[in-house]
Structure 1
C-alpha cells in the first residue's frame, strides 16, 4: 500500500495515467461487449428483432441500476471497513449485499413477468415489434438474479483488493456470451430468445465465479451464513451510498422511454432500431474515454488530498487531451463511415439509412462532450458530489428530456436526432466553463499552499 502511495505522488503523471487507465479501458471495453454482441447477431435476424432489443433496453437499464445501487454502495462501504481492518463488519455488509440484491432482483423479475406487455407498450412497442421484445425480455428476466450478483457484486471483488480477478470474471462472461450467441441464435434456431439465453448463461457463470471467490481462501472477506440476515443499518448505508449511480442510470431509463415513443411516432419501428444501433456505436467507442476517466480519478483524488495541486492540473490536462482525442476520432469515423458502422449491425437498407442519418446528427457534438465526461469525473474525484451530479444529470434530465418533448413537434424525426445534438452543445459549454473555473481554483490553491509553506521550508533549510 505504501508503495502505491509513493507511485501516486512521485511517478510522472503521463506514465501514471497510462498505468491506471489501460486496465480500466480494457475492463470497460470488455464489459460493453456483452450487449454489443447481442446487437450484432440479432441484427442479422432482422430490423424488427433489433427494435425488440431497443424496446427491452429501458428495463435492462433498470436491472443494471438496481445492481449498481447495491453493488457500488456495498463496495464503497466494504473498502472503508477493510481500511479500518474491521473484517467482521465487511463480512456483514457482503452478506447483506448478497441478500438485498437477490431480493430486489427477484421482485423485479416478478413484476416484470406480470406486467411485461403493458411495460413494453409503454416503452413504445407496436404490434409488429411486441413479440420480439416479449421473447427477449422474458428470458432476461429469468436471469435477473444472476445479473444482480454477477455484474453488481463484481464491484465488491474489485473493492476487496482483487481488481485483476474482477476483470477476469467479466472477461470470462463476455467470451461465453460471444461464443453462445451464434450457436443459440442461428445453429439452434432460437432467434432473439437465443441472444437473451446467451446473456443470462454468461451472467450465471459470472455470478458463480463471484460467489466462489467469496468462498475461497484468497478472499479477505468470506460469505458467512449468519451474516446473510438483513440488518436495517447495513441496508440504509448501502442504499445511501449507491443512490447516486442508481439515480443517474434511472434518468437514462426515463430518457430511453421518452426517446422510444418519439422515435415510434415520427420514424416508426425502424427508427427505434436505428437508435439502438447509434447507442451501440457510441458505447463501443466512448468506453475508452470512460476508462481514461476511471484511471484518472484515483490519481486526481489522492494528489488533491496531498495538496499536490500542480500534479492534479497535469493529470486533468492529460485526461482532457486523451478524452478529446478519443471523441474527435470517433466523430471523424461517424461522419465519414456511418453506413459502414450501421452495416455492422444490420443489412436492411431502411434501417441502415435511418441509422446513418441519425448517427451523423445525434453525435454531431462528439468533440465537445469530452468536457462533460471529464468534468463530471473530476468533481466526483475531489469530493464535490453536487457539481458532479449536476454535470452528470445536466444533459440527460435537464436538457434532453424537455428537448425530446418539444423539438419533434416542429422537426419530426430530425427533432429527435437534433435533441441529442442541442443538449450536447449546451451541456458541453457549461462543462467547459466549469472546468475553466476548476483550473483557476487549482492555481489559486497551489499559490496559497506555496505561500503558506515557503517560510517554514526556508527555516528548515537554514536549521
Structure 2
C-alpha cells in the first residue's frame, strides 16, 4: 500500500469512529466515584452469573444427587471453554485499555476486531473435539454408571453453543475495557431472566430434566450474543469493531497472546484442578462428588463479586499505565486491595455462620448435606486471602506484566493445588482432599501479597523518576 492510500485508509477509519463517547471517562480524577461506577455494574453482572449458576443448581438439585453430580462433572468443560474466552478477552482488554490511555483508539479497535475473529473458529474446533471425546472425558473424571448418561445428556446439548459462549465472553471483556460495564451488566441480566423463566418450564413442565436445564442455558447465551451484536453494530463503545479492522499479522496476535495465554492457562489449570478434585472425590462415592460440587459452587459464588470489582478496576489500571501516571495506578491499587480483602473476609465469615442453610439450598439428602457442610468450612478457611490473589492477577495483567501475573494466578489451582490433591487423598483419604484446597488457598495468598508489595515499591520509584 502506498503512502497516499494509507492516508485514505486512516482518514476513513477515523471517520468511522463513534462521534460521541457514551462511556465513562477513564481519565476522571475522582477515582472513588470512577471505580465505583465501573466496579458496581461489573460486580452486579458477575453476581448475576453466580445467581444463574445457583438457580440452575437448585432446579437440578431437585432431580437428585446424581443429577447435580452430573452437572458438576460437566463444569470443567465449561471452565475450559471459558478459559479460552477469558484468555482472548483478558489479552484484548489489557491491550485496549492501555492503548486508549495512550490515545490510540485505532489500534484498540483493531485488537477488538481481531479478538472476535479469532474466537469463532476456535469455538468451532473446541466443539468438535469435545463432542467426539465426551464419553472418554467423563470416564476420566470418574463418572459412575448412574452419572454418566445424565452427564452426556447435559453436555451434548450445551457444548454446541461453545462458539456463542466464547463470543459472549470476549465481547464482555471488550465492553468493560472501554468503560462500558453497564452494558455488560444489562446483557447478563437479560440472559439471567430468560434462564430463570425457561429452567422450570423446560425441566419440569416439559419434562426434559437435565436436557431442559442445558437448553435453557443455551438459549440465554443466544440472547446475550444478540445484544452484543447490537452493541458493536450500533457503535455504542469507543472502539470500532468491523471485519475490515481485523489484523491477522503475527505481531498483532502476539501482543494479545502475551497477556492472554497466561490467562488461558490459569483457567485451564482451574479445569484440570476441577477434574482432579472430582476424580479424587469419586473414590469415596456419588455423595462425596455431589458434596464437593456444592462446596465448589458456593466458593464460586463468593469469588465472582470479588472478580467483578477487579474487572471493573482493570480499565482504570490499564488506562493509567498507558498514560504513565504511576501515582494514579498506585492509588487505584490500594483502594481496590482494601475492597477485595474486605469482601473475601466477610464472605468467608458468612459461609462459616450459615453453612448448613446454604448447603440445604442444593441438597435435601442428609448424608450429602453433612459431607458438604464440612467441605464448605474447610474450603473457606483461607478464602479471606482470595481478594489479594484475585486483584494481584488483575493488576499485573493490566500493566502488561505477563510473567508475574502467571506466577500469581497459577498458584491457587495449579502448581500448589494439583500436586497436593493428587497425593494427599491417597495418604489421608477425604481429609487429605480437603487439606489440599486449604493449603493451596493459603500459599497462593502469601505469594500474591509478596508480589504486590514489590509492585507497589516499583510504582513509587517510577512516580518519583517522572516527577519534574
Unpaired runs of 5+ residues, structure 1, are: 454-463
**Alignment pair present for 1:284 and 2:301:** yes
Unpaired runs of 5+ residues, structure 2, are: 1-20
Is the CA contact (8 Å cut-off) linking 1:105 and 1:144 kept in structure 2?
yes
Go from structure 1 to structure 2 and tell me whether the alpha carbon gap of 1:130 and 1:319 turns closer, same or farther (over 3 Å shift).
same
Is the CA contact (8 Å cut-off) linking 2:94 and 2:318 kept in structure 1?
no
Paired residue for 2:219? 201
Go from structure 1 to structure 2 and tell me whether the alpha carbon gap of 1:429 and 1:199 turns closer, same or farther (over 3 Å shift).
same
User: How far apart, CA to CA, are the structure 2 residues paired with 1:384 and 1:238?
Assistant: 12
- Aligned partner of 1:221 among 240, 263, 282: 240
Paired residue for 2:120? 102
Go from structure 1 to structure 2 and tell me whether the alpha carbon gap of 1:243 and 1:215 turns closer, same or farther (over 3 Å shift).
same
The structure with more radius of gyration: 1
Map 1:33-432 → 2, pairs under 5 A = 33-74=51-92, 84-86=104-106, 90=109, 94=113, 97-159=115-177, 162-216=180-234, 218=236, 221=240, 223-224=242-243, 238-265=256-283, 267-303=284-320, 311-432=328-449
SS at match of 1:143: helix
Go from structure 1 to structure 2 and tell me whether the alpha carbon gap of 1:263 and 1:72 turns closer, same or farther (over 3 Å shift).
same
Is the CA contact (8 Å cut-off) linking 2:61 and 2:362 kept in structure 1?
yes
SS at match of 1:190: coil
Is the CA contact (8 Å cut-off) linking 1:51 and 1:269 kept in structure 2?
yes
Paired residue for 2:18? none
Go from structure 1 to structure 2 and tell me whether the alpha carbon gap of 1:313 and 1:164 turns closer, same or farther (over 3 Å shift).
closer
Is the CA contact (8 Å cut-off) linking 1:81 and 1:90 kept in structure 2?
no
**Alignment pair present for 1:4 and 2:21:** no
SS at match of 2:130: helix
State TM-score, norm by structure 1.
0.85
- How far off its partner does 1:61 sit? 1.2
User: How far apart, CA to CA, are the structure 2 residues paired with 1:236 and 1:399?
Assistant: 29
State TM-score, norm by structure 2.
0.84
Is the CA contact (8 Å cut-off) linking 2:262 and 2:402 kept in structure 1?
no
User: How far apart, CA to CA, are the structure 2 residues paired with 1:272 and 1:196?
Assistant: 20
Is the CA contact (8 Å cut-off) linking 1:151 and 1:203 kept in structure 2?
no
What RMSD over aligned residues (CA atoms) do the two structures have, in Å? Answer: 3.1
- How far off its partner does 1:143 sit? 1.8
- How far off its partner does 1:253 sit? 1.2
User: How far apart, CA to CA, are the structure 2 residues paired with 1:155 and 1:5?
Assistant: 16
Go from structure 1 to structure 2 and tell me whether the alpha carbon gap of 1:153 and 1:300 turns closer, same or farther (over 3 Å shift).
closer
Is the CA contact (8 Å cut-off) linking 2:179 and 2:315 kept in structure 1?
no
SS at match of 2:292: helix
Is the CA contact (8 Å cut-off) linking 2:203 and 2:213 kept in structure 1?
yes
Go from structure 1 to structure 2 and tell me whether the alpha carbon gap of 1:360 and 1:380 turns closer, same or farther (over 3 Å shift).
same
User: How far apart, CA to CA, are the structure 2 residues paired with 1:157 and 1:315?
Assistant: 20
Go from structure 1 to structure 2 and tell me whether the alpha carbon gap of 1:366 and 1:407 turns closer, same or farther (over 3 Å shift).
same
- How far off its partner does 1:91 sit? 6.3
